[in-house]
Every structure is written in structure tokens, then in C-alpha cells.
Amino acid sequence: MARTLGVVIPAYRPDVEALATLVTAVEEALSPAEVRVELDAPTARTRAALAALPVTVHACERRRGKGAAITQGFEALSTDVLAFLDADGSVPAASMADVVAPVRAGQADLAVGSRRHPEADVRTHQTFARRWLGDAFARLARVALDVRLYDYQCGAKALDKETWEAVRCHLYEPGFAWDVELVAMAGAVGARVTEVPVVWIDQPDSTVDVVDTVVALGRALVVARHRAALLGENPKNVALESYRRPEHALVERCHLDDD
């Protein structure tokens, strides 16, 4: 029996027309059982426009952040495979199908789309500063984490339900740093991680603040390395954790928000 697919699209201040085009392309390329748009801080106009789309739209009045939005979306899905892609369409739906394929086929537990892979098809590049900082972070992450990839932050990933159940309580980062945390935790629980080269079309109107994101990613990498070691019951990290202030995982915060 074919594995069912659910797709989450996190969106903040989306271009409604572009998002509608993306949704149509996702339906055609991926044949998902459900597409769910997790919409942060929408205007009344955006909310009304998205109501016409043939998808589930869950709106939050505040800006949760990419990681929190995807987490809440994944928690709401009941499909065998969970996937997300960014609302700006940087990774076209047809390329996203390549990311989903190894998980749907049972060949991988987590598939990570990659714009930095040697075989990636980069149609338009990021600015020099964003590209340089992204490359530097990827090199640092390859040294720090057990899962060695070319690209940790590309907005196109898919994983099976079993892997989500294994990592969901170990994810804390609400923003763009969620991606690297997901990869680190998947590696820590022994998931089979594969990297898939994608078509990449950079969107210059991204809402990502480069400086804030770099700071968040640096902090997240240190914490993800620590939490991955905790899952492996490294004595030093277990001892260090006893001095840290307790936090609620994202799944707990999502449920608290719903109450």
C-alpha cells in the first residue's frame, strides 16, 4: 500500500498569488492526502484570500516562527509521511517530489533537500553575504554534528511518522534554527538520513533577517550538539543538563497554545 503524504507550508506575510500557484503545483507533483498552510500573523485580507484555496489553513494571530509552525502542522497530520516546504517556492514542487520519494519508498527515514549539494541545480543565487554565511555555517555544522550534509537549512524536508514520533519531544527551536535541530535529533535516534539535491530559485524578498538568523543558528548548533549527546547518554552532557533551566519542547508549547 502506498504511504500517504501530508505537506505543511509555513507562511508569514506570504505572496498570496505565489502561494496559490505553489499549492496547485504541490497537488499535481506530490498527490498529497493533505496540504496544510500554517499561517502566522495574517491580515484579514490574506486570511480571506487563502480561504479560497483547497487546503487546510491554520492561522495563528502571532508570529510563532518557522519551527513552531511546522511542528504544529506536523502534529495535526495523520499521514505516513510528513513533509514541509517554504511558502516562497524557492524549491519548486517538482523538485520537492524528489525529496519526498526516498521516504515514501521506505529508503530513508529523513530526506533533506540540499541547494549546496554538488548535483543541485541552482537557478538563481542568494546574495553574496547570505551565501557566504550559509556556506560557513554548513561547514561548521558538518564538524559539530554526527550527520554530515552539504546543507542543513534548505526549506524542503520529509520524514516518516515513526521518525517524527521519535524526535518530536526533543525539538525546542521555534525559528529557522529548527532545521538543524531536526537533523541533529534524527541522527541521534539512529534515523537513516539522506541528502537530496534540489532545484533552487532564490527569492530576494525573503523575510529572513540575516544577522539575527546567523546568531540563532550558531546558538542552535551548540545546543543541538548537546541535546544529541544527551540522547546518546553522554555522561558529560547529562551532568551539564542538570544545571540548565528546564524548557518546554515545541510540542508541549503548541498544545499549551491550543488550550
pLDDT of res. 218: 83
Model confidence at 161, pLDDT cuts 50, 70, 90, reads very high
* Statement: residue 254 has pLDDT above 80: no
Residues 52-73, mean pLDDT to the nearest whole number: 94
Average pLDDT over residues 8-12: 97
Look up the domain containing 91 and give its range.
5-258
pLDDT band at 236 (very low <50, low <70, confident <90, very high): very low
Can you give the pTM of this predicted structure?
Answer: 0.89
Q: Which of 39, 36, 35 has its CA nearest to residue 12?
A: 39
pLDDT for 210: 58
Q: What is the CATH number of the domain that holds 224?
A: 3.90.550.10
Is the pLDDT assigned to residue 128 strictly greater than 70? no
At residue 240 the predicted structure's pLDDT band, cuts being 50, 70 and 90, is very low
What's the whole-number mean pLDDT along residues 151-157?
A: 95
Question: Rounded to 10 degrees, what is the CA torsion of 155, 111, 218, 67?
Answer: 50
Q: Which residues pair with 34 in a beta bridge?
A: 6
The pLDDT assigned to 109 comes to: 98
Asked if the model's pLDDT at residue 89 lies above 60, the reply is yes
Q: Percentage of the chain surpassing pLDDT 90?
A: 68
pLDDT of residue 62: 93
- Position 248 scores a pLDDT of 84
Whether pLDDT at 133 is above 80: no
Q: Which residues 6+ apart lie within 8 Å of 89 measured at CB? A: 18, 21, 22, 201, 203
Q: List, for residues 180-233, the tens digit of each pLDDT value.
A: 999 999 999 999 999 999 999 987 655 555 566 667 788 888 888 888 888 865
Beta bridge partners of 84: 8, 157
Work out how many domains the chain is built from and give that number.
1
Gap between the Cα atoms of 192 and 29, Å rounded: 24
DSSP 55: S
Interatomic CA distance for residues 42 and 19, integer angstroms:
14
